[in-house]
Structure 1
Amino acid sequence: MRKLVLILLTFFVCASYSDNVQANDPVYAYYGFEPDIVTNYISNRKKLGFVKISVELMVQNPNDLIDLEHHDPLLRAAIVEILGNQSEDRVKSLAGREEIRRECFEMVNRLIEQETGKATVVNLLFTKYLYD
């Protein structure tokens, strides 16, 4: 229900700004996974390592938010799988974090294109990234 309210709010905000936007100016919208994604990763130590991230998907057309919400479980599962296959060194380094983000972005776009026929995600952002 909360996501539906956010989607509707996005539509109303975009509609109110449409008068001020030129025909060629893109109107971006964001879809956030709720709750945050938490999973384990391959640790060099004897205890399990975990990572907790907040992910936002950026789309150019606010109407695409409906497709993202519909396919949320599929996209979330793909991100969890990617994170779970990472080494501790990769999870904890800045370069590794960027590689993981790109891998998630490519997988999300590939999956959403398979499901809807179009790659709608313009960018994938980690807005929170915690690990242990």
Structure 2
Amino acid sequence: MAICISLVMSLSSKVALADDSTFMYYGFEPDIITNYLSTGKKVGFVRVTIELMAQGETNLKIIQHHAPLLRAALVDVLGRQPEDRVKSLAGREEIRKLCFNTVNQLLKKETGQELATELLFTKYIYH
């Protein structure tokens, strides 16, 4: 009987370990749409689909809980970008890194941990 209980406990701890080592994604829905700083008379906008990668379901749930705060910060970051940065490939990567750092800074302030392991733009449209 003791061997059976030990085996069940061993298997359940391995399942829990596998769950926390799995990378999961949180997608902000709907897409983030905001104006950016344009140089001409025309108003420019950017539409971005953002996915955050986190390790384990627990971290994903924490990110999901803080999603409204993170979304507001992402809108702010995107809205402060100049037109030339929004429209260039190198600029897009700079913006992505800035968004990633902003998200992790906020998560660290709120939870004490940087929970996002990556931030991806899965759609990036500007006009």
TM-score (norm 1): 0.80
Match of 1:101 among 96, 110, 119: 96
1:27 Cα deviation from its structure 2 partner = 1.2
Output the aligned Cα RMSD.
2.0
Which of 98-107 and 66-75 deviates more? 66-75
Extract unaligned runs of 5+ from structure 2: 1-12
Secondary structure of 1:54's partner? strand
Q: Tell me the alpha carbon deviations over residues 37-68 of structure 1, each in whole angstroms, 9 at most, x when there is no partner.
A: 00000112201100000000000122111111
Which has the greater radius of gyration? Answer: 2
1:32 alignment counterpart? 27
1:127 is aligned to 2:122: yes
Extract unaligned runs of 5+ from structure 1: 1-17
Aligned residue pairs, count: 113
1:118 alignment counterpart? 113
1:32 Cα deviation from its structure 2 partner = 0.4
Distance in 1 of aligned mates of 2:51 and 2:76: 17
2:61 alignment counterpart? 66
Of all paired residues, the percent bearing the same amino acid is 58
Distance in 2 of aligned mates of 1:62 and 1:110: 20
Secondary structure of 1:125's partner? strand
Distance in 1 of aligned mates of 2:56 and 2:88: 33
